[in-house]
Amino acid sequence: MKYLDEFRDRQKCQFLLERILANCSRKWTIMEVCGGQTHGLLKFGIEEALRDRIEMIHGPGCPVCVTSTTAIDRAIEFAFQTDTLLVCFGDMLRVPGSSISLAQAKTLGAHVMTVYSPLDAVKIALKESNKKIVFMAVGFETTVPATAVAILQAVKHQLANFFVLLSHVRVAPAMEYILQQGDCRIDGFLAAGHVCTIMGTQECTELSERYQVPIAVTGFEPLDLLVGIEQCVMLLEKRKSAVSNSYSRVVLDSGNERAKECMREVFEVSDQDWRGLGLVPRGGYRLREKYESFNADSATAIHDASCRITGLDSKAMQQKLSDRMTVVQKDAINCRSGDVLMGRIKPQACPHFGKECTPQTPCGAPMVSSEGACAAYFQYARHESDLALDPEKESKL
Ligand code: SF4
């Protein structure tokens, strides 16, 4: 396949790998921020090949994993309202809220539909004018512009039945939040290339200067990852805090101006609750006042307290919910997704990994999501004996 095979060239990868190992004067700890990068590192054996000289720790860059339980609970509440359709991306369906997931809610009669794009939700609102359409907007800066455009389209069509349940997150503040933890031992970062495609490299530069940490912006294919790691190691070896754009075929230092303009028009920065991390200062977005009528959380037109989960009056329904809550909550209590998302432990250090928690029977979001670290380890590294459940081997930040 053209444009992909070139970035998976075995000989070039091997050459880079050896050069990286040869240039490490000591063992370095590098966090890759994005879940897609975690999967690449494990799938292509890079994490294992580097392990003696570089410890890769896996960051919180998986949008499904960091969407708060509160946001999922709110989505479920809306989905149970009689004249409301909750519209979301497919990978949100199986993520547990505080009691049940959207998929489980759907089996109980909740109105849930999946789409590929926020603009699909706008089309549904145009077609189903007698229903209230609530789009669950999640994800990093990669998906924020699309939500902004959907809202601008809703304005254009004067839609009064389109609402957004906003849970978008910003990557740079989460990196800063991790760096501020007392037990942080990150030497350098691989920043997420797709986020920088939108945002450019300025936020990384500010972070790098403020915390004296090198950052390599890179992509997801093996050669991209290795070039990024090499750049990060080179900066570390020179004791230099700077940003290297190792993904310049995609990322411009200025980012995507048009996308940023749409984001600025519709949203402003706000604090945001991240699953596993807690409240991250300036870690998300809220709607600007002029678009507040699209906010599902505050729009009075959409609130119907009588249909909330806790208010369901059917006895059978209550029993079904309570049965499911027992199962889900039992596992969720012990899920160590917070430690996994902060890079404090590797997934195998969680006692549920590969036992009661598998991609088929996930107990937490990092095992549900196709970008989650637990799913990556289950798929590519679950048989490795040296990462067995030994608390001594838990990597602390
Ligand atoms: S293995 Fe499962 S229970 Fe453990 S942290 Fe990952 S998602 Fe949570």
Ligand 1: does its nearest atom lie under 6 Å from the Cβ of 347?
Answer: yes
157 located within any domain? yes
| Cα atoms in the Cβ-side hemisphere of radius 13 Å centred on 262 | 18
Ligand 1: does its nearest atom lie under 6 Å from the Cβ of 118?
Answer: no
- Residues 117 and 97: their CA atoms lie apart, in Å, by 22
306 located within any domain? yes
Pocket test residue of 337, 345, 356 for ligand 1, highest count of atoms within 8 A of CB: 337
372 located within any domain? no
The answer to whether the beta carbons of residues 103 and 93 sit under 8 Å apart is yes
Atom of ligand 1 nearest to the CA of 353: 1
* Residue 303 CB neighbours (<10 A): 15
**342 CA from centroid of ligand 1 (Å):** 13
Q: Whose CA is nearest to atom 7 of ligand 1?
A: 364
**Structurally, how many domains does the chain consist of?**
1
Q: What pLDDT score was predicted for residue 3?
A: 73
The answer to whether the beta carbons of residues 341 and 67 sit under 8 Å apart is no
Per-residue pLDDT of the chain (397 residues; tens, 9 = 90+): 567 788 899 999 999 999 999 999 999 999 999 999 999 999 999 999 999 999 999 999 888 899 999 999 999 999 999 899 999 999 899 998 888 899 999 999 999 999 999 999 999 999 999 999 999 999 999 999 999 999 999 999 999 999 999 999 999 999 999 999 998 989 999 999 999 999 999 999 999 999 999 999 999 999 999 999 999 999 999 999 999 999 999 999 999 999 999 999 999 999 999 998 999 999 999 999 999 999 998 866 566 544 444 444 445 555 555 555 544 444 445 789 889 988 889 999 999 999 999 998 888 889 988 889 999 999 998 776 444 333 343 443 3
57 located within any domain? no
The answer to whether the beta carbons of residues 47 and 57 sit under 8 Å apart is no
105 located within any domain? yes
Q: What pLDDT score was predicted for residue 370?
A: 81
**35 CA from centroid of ligand 1 (Å):** 15
- Extract the runs of DSSP E, i.e. beta strands, from the chain: 28-34, 54-61, 84-89, 112-115, 132-139, 162-168, 188-192, 215-218, 243-245, 267-274, 278-287
390 is written with which tokens? 């030994």
Q: What is the CATH number of the domain that holds 267?
A: 3.40.50.11740
269 located within any domain? yes
39 located within any domain? no
**Which residues, at least 6 apart from 182, have a Cβ–Cβ distance to it below 8 Å?**
none
CA 251, 257, 258, 264: dihedral to nearest 10 degrees? 120
Ligand 1: does its nearest atom lie under 6 Å from the Cβ of 369?
Answer: no
Pocket test residue of 94, 330, 357 for ligand 1, highest count of atoms within 8 A of CB: 357
Ligand 1: does its nearest atom lie under 6 Å from the Cβ of 213?
Answer: no
**74 CA from centroid of ligand 1 (Å):** 23
Which pTM does this prediction carry? 0.88
Q: Whose CA is nearest to atom 8 of ligand 1?
A: 335
- Residues 88 and 119: their CA atoms lie apart, in Å, by 11
Ligand 1: does its nearest atom lie under 6 Å from the Cβ of 71?
Answer: no
- Residues 317 and 304: their CA atoms lie apart, in Å, by 18
201 located within any domain? no
**Domain, as residue range, for 140:** 68-168+256-311
